[in-house]
Homo-oligomer: A and B are copies of this chain.
Amino acid sequence: MRTRDYDKQQRIKEAMVHLILREGINGASVSKIAREAGVSPATIYIYYESKEDLLSAAFREYAHQSYQYLGRQIRPGMGAAELIEAIVRGYYAYTVEHEEIFSFVEQCAHCPTLAEYVSQQECCCGIFDLMHQYQARGLLRRCSDANLAAVLFAPVRFLAMNRKSGPAEPQLRELVAMLQRLLLP
């Protein structure tokens, strides 16, 4: 059950993410975050040691969130083609439903001073375990994890970043087909 204090901590994180989407990583000062969250600046320092601590904690948490979301979209019983479609569409859906958090994580992941806090590779280990099983059973082509992540997630992120250019559905359908041809045996 959510306690009152957990809510406050949550509000702080969300305020920061919201601000960073609106004004970029520079625009999110501690005072603004506090104002947006409806707390005093000093209160933030009860929950976090420093601004960097707040940023990195939120980055760590939210970086895993998209893969947890993905984990809920897939089931071990799925066929391989179905699995690929679920991943692509599920990941894209996440970027739409959690636009702010997605943008926040992308910014953090590309900032050298923050990137080291999170290893992208290990975020998706749950999904990779499943893929390995499919590969072992010959349902998916074998390839290195790095390249699997590269072709499965990076293109979807690219489409999500450039969302405004055209309707998403045809592009998604095409991408699913391409990745199925690439990864199915």
Distance in angstroms from A117 CB to nearest chain B CB is: 12
Taking the nearest CB of chain B, how far is it from the CB of A26, in angstroms?
Answer: 6
Contact mask A24-41 → B, CB, 8 Å, 1/0?
111100000000000000
Asked if B155 contacts A112 (CB within 8 A), the reply is no
CB pair A174–B147 under 8 Å, yes or no, is yes
Binds B, one of A61-69, A132-140, A162-170: A162-170
Nearest CB of B to A53, in Å: 15
Most buried by B among A26, A150, A161: A150
Count contacts on A: residues with CB < 8 A to the other chain: 44
Q: Mark A81-122, 1 if CB is under 8 A from B, else 0.
A: 000000000000000000000010011011111110000110
A29 to chain B, nearest CB (A): 10
Q: Give A65 Cβ to nearest chain B Cβ, in Å.
A: 18
Is A146 interfacial (CB 8 A cutoff)? yes
Give 20 A-B pairs besides A25-B111, A115-B161, A146-B162 with Cβ atoms closer than 8 angstroms. Answer: A24-B112, A24-B114, A103-B110, A107-B111, A110-B110, A121-B165, A143-B174, A146-B166, A147-B171, A147-B174, A149-B158, A150-B155, A150-B156, A150-B159, A150-B175, A154-B157, A154-B158, A155-B155, A181-B182, A182-B182
Give me 14 A-to-B residue pairs in the complex whose CB atoms sit less than 8 angstroms apart, sorted by A's number.
Answer: A26-B111, A27-B113, A115-B161, A144-B174, A147-B178, A149-B158, A150-B156, A150-B159, A151-B175, A151-B178, A153-B158, A154-B154, A154-B157, A155-B155
